[in-house]
Structure 1
Amino acid sequence: MDLQENTTANMTLAADEPRPESVIVPAIFAFIFCLGVFGNALVIAVLLRTGKEMQNTTNVFILNLSIADLFFIIFCVPFQATVYSLPEWVFGLFMCKFVHFCQCTTMLASIFNLVAMAIDRYLAVVHPVTSMDIRKPQSAWLAELVVWVLAMGTASPYLVYYDIVNHGTKSEQEFCIEVWEEIENQRPVYIAFQFTFGYVLPLMIITICYCLVIKRLNATSKRSQANRAKKRITKMLIVVVVVFGICWLPHHIMHLWVNFGEFPYTMTTYVLKLFSHCMAYANSCLNPIIYAFLSTEFRKAVGELACHKRG
């Protein structure tokens, strides 16, 4: 997520002549930015204008997931692109802290939302009667409050430890990086905590929930219309989770390698870091595509929205 390793690599591999990635990577990020802003804004617009039939707990979670993805794209992709295209950080100390805090918050809000959706699916399928009083939009919004507070609390160290440092041979250049000086090994401990509670543990909870959901769905009547609808929703949400896990895995591997292994700052590892960035950022523009392919209701709502705009 953060630019620490990439900024260090830029400082280590810096050269006067332009590098290919200074053009290629920003171009890729520009494509991700445009697709992600359009797709997530479309999802938000559809969910905000739909009638009562779309106002349920699942859509509350999808709405907040789209908001998290949209904020991630806005506060991450453009600034990350400048790291590859500009020789130094030019946005000042406030934006250095704010950008990275927003990036971490939205990443964590996304995975916590996926956990909330998995638990919601478990309650809807395995305990449909007893969970009726719990699975209400009001309860979902309360869960979202918890999600965002947890995400911001976990990301709060970025407000403290990101700073502007000067580096350069011919002239002093400013870079936005993490500075963990107070306690030895503090950064590796935080990275391990973030990996455990922001990736591994959530995916374990999600896996358990969906395994129980699939087991129950396979044991019930397959010809039931309600059962088919539940299977479609579950399939779509599982795809969203799998895509998230795959896209963010390289990012976490690189972070663990940097903090717990012997990470060589070579061109090969630099390219691997580029790949991990592209994979992570691409995730924020993929969910609307998944909805479009797997949700008939979403495609119908988009069509109705388009007709409304023409009218």
Structure 2
Amino acid sequence: MSDNGTNTTDATAYDYSLYYSEDTSFFTPCNELDLKAFASVFLPALYSMVFVLGFLGNGLVVCVLVKHRNQTNLTDMCLFNLAVSDLLFALTMPFYAHYSAVSRWTFGEFMCRFISGCHHTGFFSSIFFMIVMTLDRYMVIMHTHKVARYRTLRAGLTLSAFVWLLSLCVSLPLMIFTEVSGDLYGLVCIYAPDNRAWKFYNVFVTNMLGLLLPLVVMVGCYSKIIPRLVNMKTAKKHRVVKLIVSIVVVFFIFWAPFNISIFLQFMQREGHLPNECKFYRDIKLAITVTETFAYTHCCLNPIIYAFVGQKFMKRALQMLSKWVPRIHFPPSRDLSEISFRRSSVTSKSSDITSTIMM
């Protein structure tokens, strides 16, 4: 913790000192009281919404997959880990909602590092599991016979462990250099690297691993998958194509504005953009809005990856019917009976599309 009351470090993209404590040595003095007042009202409400929706949606996914764990395949395992990642991410939201509301960190040094570590690990593991699911779909559709014998439970467990370890390693520096410090507004929980290289690391991993890498993988893989699906003899091919396009478009729309905003902030701090108060305030406001918009993506993942699938939807409705017996959910068709009536060619195409549709 700094004892001079001055913060001279950059705030990480996910540490909320961004709204309370900044290095203003590169800027002329700016009045930020209106921005702080806006953030103290806007952010807690939106963070709370992300927590509630993310917890309910991803929690239901986890419950359904745990109940049907005896029928687990590699796709189910990736979906389970994706939901756990989003749950871990969502569970940090109440702490940051309180942080935003009172404009100071009140949970101590350990919780500052721990919550930051959970937040970043959940974020990166969610991104990495989306990449794994994309690559798995690509291999199943483009190289069906070659990969069938490798899509085993053991392979899924090994891959999951590797992704979680990788996510932890990527997040570790962001957790180590996060600390409680003091400024004019009180205690803040900030990313405070001790040298310039680690400041670049924060921007690099957020933009490269958090946006560019998954976007390149999705566009590259799905651009090959879509033509193959169009030529398949299955009634669900148009629905699958729409799902694929929505996955890429939604991911870009939700995360690109936030990543662009934090990159512009970094460029201004490095002196490559105008050193003007108005531009500085506009970037901070943009980050405040686009950040929360991006975080809501964890609430959409269950809808995009799970609830659009007939098999998963059937399981979810059955579970909800037991939990809430007074509410009658519409019955879903028995997919097993339909599958026996299909020809061998259609069944093969349907098996491939079911990997995407769950």
Question: When the two structures are superposed, what TM-score results if normalisation uses the length of structure 2?
Answer: 0.75
Name the SS of the counterpart of 1:176 in structure 2: strand
Q: Deviations over 1:249-301 (max 9, x none)?
A: 22211221122234766543332122122112111111223357622222211
Equivalent residue, structure 1, for 2:226:
214
**Hey, what does 2:346 align to over in structure 1?**
none
For 1:64, the equivalent position in structure 2 comes to 81
User: CA offset at residue 20 of structure 1?
Assistant: 4.2
1:187-212, Cα deviation, whole Å (9 max, x unpaired): 02442244223321232122211112
Partner Cα distance (1:16, 1:236) in 2: 41
1:144-180 Cα shifts (integer Å, max 9, x gaps): 1111111110111022211111112xxx721111212
Counterpart of 2:316 in structure 1 is: 302
In structure 2, how many angstroms separate the alpha carbons of the residues matched to 1:184 and 1:73? 30
Aligned match for 2:302, one of 274, 279, 288: 288
Matched, 1:32 2:50: yes
Note the C-alpha offset of 1:7: 3.2
Farther-moved stretch of structure 1 (275-284 vs 254-263): 254-263
Listed as ranges, the gaps of 5+ residues in structure 1 are none
The structure number with the bigger radius of gyration is 2
Match of 1:164 in 2: 180
Q: How many residues align?
A: 300
Among candidates 283, 290, 301, match of residue 276 of structure 1: 290
Equivalent residue number for residue 258 of structure 1: 265
Contact 2:109 2:179 in 1 (8 A): yes
Pair 1:288–1:73, CA change in 2 (3 A): same
2:256 to 235, 240, 249: 249
Q: Deviations over 1:110-162 (max 9, x none)?
A: 11111110111011111111111112232122111111111110111022211
Residues 89 and 118 of structure 2 are in contact (CA less than 8 Å); yes or no, is this contact kept in structure 1?
yes
CA contact (8 A) 1:125 1:213 kept: yes
In structure 2, the partner of 1:137 is: 153
Distance across 2 between alignment mates of 1:107 and 1:200: 15
* Contact in 1 for aligned 2:61/2:306 (Cα 8 Å): no
**2:41 matched to which residue of 1?**
23
Is contact 2:48-2:94 (8 Å) kept? yes
Q: Which residue of 2 aligns with 1:203?
A: 215
Question: What root-mean-square deviation, in Å, do the aligned CA atoms of Structure 1 and Structure 2 show?
Answer: 2.8
Corresponding residue SS for 1:131: helix
**CA distance 1:256–1:97, change in 2 (3 Å):** same
Output the CA distance in 2 between the equivalents of 1:187 and 1:271: 21
- Letter of the 1:30 partner, please give it: S
State the alpha-carbon separation in 2 of the partners of residues 238 and 16 from structure 1: 39
* Distance in 1 (alpha carbons) for counterparts of 2:319 and 2:201: 47
Q: Distance in 1 between matches of 2:84 and 2:61?
A: 9
